[in-house]
Amino acid sequence: MLFLSSLNDLSMIDINDINNWMELYRKAIFEAFGGRVLFIGLQGSYARGEAKGSSDIDPVLILDRVTSQDLTLYREAASALPHSDLLCGFVSGRAEISGWVSGELFQFYYDTIPHYGSLDHLIKRPGVPEARDAVRSGACAIYHGCSHNMLHSRDVVMLKSLYKSAVFIVQALYFLEHGRYIHRHRELAGLASRDEQRIVTLSLSQDEITAESLDELSSLLLSWSSRLISKYPL
C-alpha cells in the first residue's frame, strides 16, 4: 500500500512526539496525493502542547480540490498511521477554504501550526473584522446551544462541549481587545477577565460540569453569550 506499510512497529511511536507523527502523516499524504498537496498543518490540543493521552489529533490538509474519491483515498492513507483511532482532522479544497465564513477562518488561521506550505497563500490573514465576526457568530451558537440544552436535552456532555467551544470565542475576544492571539488555553486563562477566565478554566478541567451544576453553569454561558451578542451586533 503506502510507504507506511514498509515500516515496522508503528504502534510504538510515542504520540507525545507529535512532530514525529506529523512527519509520518506528511509522507503518507504526499504518497497519496503528490503535487496536489497545498498545505499541511496541525490544530487542537497537540498543536498547543496541551494534549492528554485520549486527545484527538487534528491535522489540516488543503488540496487543490477535494472529491468523494479523494476522501476515500485519504481515509485509506490515514488508517495506516499509528494511533489512527485518534485522528480527527480537516480536509478541504482550495476553493472551499478560500470562500469559508470569515468568522470561522479567524480561528482556523490562528489555531493552525503549519507543517508544509503557508495559509497566507490560500486565505487572507484574519484581523479585527474577522475576530468580531468570530465573537458574534460564536456567541449566537453558544446562546442557542445553551437554551436548547437547558430546555430539552439537559445533557452534561453537551454542556462540556459548549464550554470547549466558548474558549475559541474568548480567544477572538482577547484579540479584539488586546490585538494579540493567545494560542495556549492555559495562558489565556491567566490573562482573560473574570467571566472569561471562569469559562476557560471550566473548559480545561471539566469535573465541575455535572448534572447538579448544569443549570448554574448553563446560565453562566447563556448570560455571557447574550452580553456578547448585544455588544457586537451586525
For 27-77, the pLDDT digits (tens) are: 999 999 999 999 999 999 999 999 887 789 999 999 999 999 999 999 999
Looking at the predicted structure, is the pLDDT value of residue 187 above 70? yes
Q: Do 180 and 174 meet the contact criterion of CB atoms below 8 Å apart?
A: yes
Which amino acid, 232? Y
Looking at the predicted structure, is the pLDDT value of residue 4 above 80? no
Q: Do 62 and 71 meet the contact criterion of CB atoms below 8 Å apart?
A: no
Give residue 16's pLDDT band: very low, low, confident or very high (50, 70, 90). low
Report how far apart, in Å, the C-alpha atoms of 108 and of each of 49, 130, 134, 150, 219 are.
17, 11, 10, 29, 28
CB atoms within 10 A of CB 57: 25
Question: For cell 448554574, what's the residue?
Answer: 216
Q: Do 33 and 63 meet the contact criterion of CB atoms below 8 Å apart?
A: yes
Give me the pLDDT at residue 54, please.
79
Please write the tens of the pLDDT for every residue from 168-184: 999 999 999 999 999 99
Give residue 7's pLDDT band: very low, low, confident or very high (50, 70, 90). very low
Which amino acid, 113? I
Q: What is the mean pLDDT of residues 139-163?
A: 98
Give me the pLDDT at residue 14, please.
57
Counting Cβ atoms within 10 Å, is residue 106 exposed (0-12), middle (13-18) or buried (19+)? Answer: buried
Taking the mean position of all CA atoms in its chain, how far away is CA 158? Answer: 17
Domains along the chain? 3-101+112-121 (3.30.460), 128-231 (1.20.120)
Q: What is the pTM of this model?
A: 0.89
Looking at the predicted structure, is the pLDDT value of residue 15 above 80? no
pLDDT > 70 in the chain, percent: 93
Looking at the predicted structure, is the pLDDT value of residue 196 above 60? yes
Give me the pLDDT at residue 17, please.
85
- Determine how β-strand 37-43 pairs with β-strand 58-63: antiparallel
Report how far apart, in Å, the C-alpha atoms of 95 and of each of 36, 38, 49 are.
13, 12, 31
Query: Where are the strands (E) in the chain, listed by range?
Result: 37-43, 58-63, 90-93, 113-116
Written as nine digits, the cell of 54 is 485520549
Backbone angles phi, psi at 103, to 5 degrees: -65, -35
Looking at the predicted structure, is the pLDDT value of residue 186 above 50? yes
Residue-averaged pLDDT of the chain = 92
Please write the tens of the pLDDT for every residue from 204-217: 999 999 999 999 99
